[in-house]
Amino acid sequence: MTTSATQRKRALSQSGTRRLRAGAGLGAIEGETSAVADVTATTLAALAFNPSNEGETLTARRVVVTGASSGIGAATARLFRAHGWDVVAVARRTERLEALADETGCDIFTADLTDQLQVDALRDYVQALGPVHALVNNAGGAFGLASVEAGDPEDWIRMFDVNVVAVKRVTSALLPLLRAASVDGGHADILTVTSIAGHVAYEGGGGYNAAKFAEHAMVAVLRLELAGEPIRVLEVAPGMVHTEEFSLVRFAGDQAKADAVYDNVPEPLVAEDIAEAIVHAIELPGHVNLDLVTIKPVAQAAPWKVIRGELKPKL
């Protein structure tokens, strides 16, 4: 009999958690342990619950989530913790990660994933914690809306670095650990958060379209390369998601322009909507692979087709 999500969440809030933090850059690791003497059977069941392979030996499962300092990444880390997973939250901003660790009890690692040395340090850190069963490649970003002709090549380089090359770096670094966790009848997961911008071109997409198309292609190639291994390769491609930073970064800190993106849009998606899809996909039985999940709000029919104002039936 499985443990309900409510029971797992309640047990998680009662249990002690291990906190390991990494500083900026390569990060000197500081261990900090807290424990609760009276650990109930419910707590143990919650931490040992294996939602995607119930027939396997029940052990705690670990997921690495990148871009976890805000938005979709932070929401995903929270939801995995509520489901009883051990979570390693990765991002550049230590103070944001520390706040997330205080809130959820997740492990944290500060790193710039465009730096190979820092990615190597992340791998060593995760390996020291124990088996890793899933990787959520969520870190990424868009810079500007310039045309192909007028776009700054440096912006394009940044977008390819964070959306493509960094994802390749992290995936390559952690793949041996994921393989090790998939032995003896188990499985592992690599889920990459891309975008509908990686599937449909639109004016103003420019370098972001190009980078996200490349990221989607990389995921598809990886799925072919890993065919025959018990490793699922999944892709979640969100449309319009109202988060605190995506559009703000894209418009170089111009809050008015960032707010205008979502102005009068009835119920754009929020980070928690995407987190639900990510956790659901990874917690499905191990033989079920959601190759591609595209998620848009009802008000968005395409990247360039967004309804502003009340949705009404045509009677």
pLDDT digits 0-9 by tens, 144-153: 888 999 999 9
- The arrangement of strands across the sheet holding 62-66 comes to 107-110, 86-91, 62-66, 134-137, 188-193, 231-238, 292-295
DSSP-based three-state secondary structure for 148: coil
Residue 59 has pLDDT above 70, yes or no: no
Q: Is the Cβ–Cβ distance between 135 and 187 less than 8 Å?
A: no
DSSP class of 37: S
- Map tokens 């493509």 to a residue: 164
Would you say the C-alpha torsion 127, 132, 187, 291 has a positive or negative sign? negative
Q: Is the Cβ–Cβ distance between 215 and 233 less than 8 Å?
A: no
In this prediction, residue 262 carries a pLDDT of: 73
Pairing of strands 86-91, 62-66: parallel
CA neighbor of 190 nearest in space, from 106, 282, 78: 282
In this prediction, residue 254 carries a pLDDT of: 57
CA distance 249 to 143: 7
CA neighbor of 20 nearest in space, from 34, 10, 30: 30
What number does CATH give the domain 5-300? Answer: 3.40.50.720
b/e per residue 87-117 (b: at least 16 CB within 10 A): bbbbbbebebbeebbeebbbbbbbbbbbeee
For this structure, is 208 an active site residue? yes
Q: Dihedrals φ, ψ of 124, to 5°?
A: -65, -40
- State mean pLDDT over 54-65: 71
Q: Is the Cβ–Cβ distance between 84 and 49 less than 8 Å?
A: yes
CA distance 34 to 19: 8
Share of the chain above pLDDT 90, in %: 62
In this prediction, residue 24 carries a pLDDT of: 39
The string of DSSP codes covering 151-187 is --HHHHHHHHIIIIIHHHHHHHHHHHHHHHHT-TT--
Q: Among 69-83, 137-151, 256-270, which stretch is predicted with the lowest mean pLDDT?
A: 256-270
> Using 50, 70 and 90 to split pLDDT, how confident is the model at 11?
very low
Please state the domain extents for the chain.
Answer: 5-300
3-state SS string for 279-301: HHHHHCCCCCCCCEEEECCCCEE
Of 125, 202, 208, 262, which residue is the catalytic one? Answer: 208
* Six token digits for residue 158: 């940044």
In this prediction, residue 56 carries a pLDDT of: 44
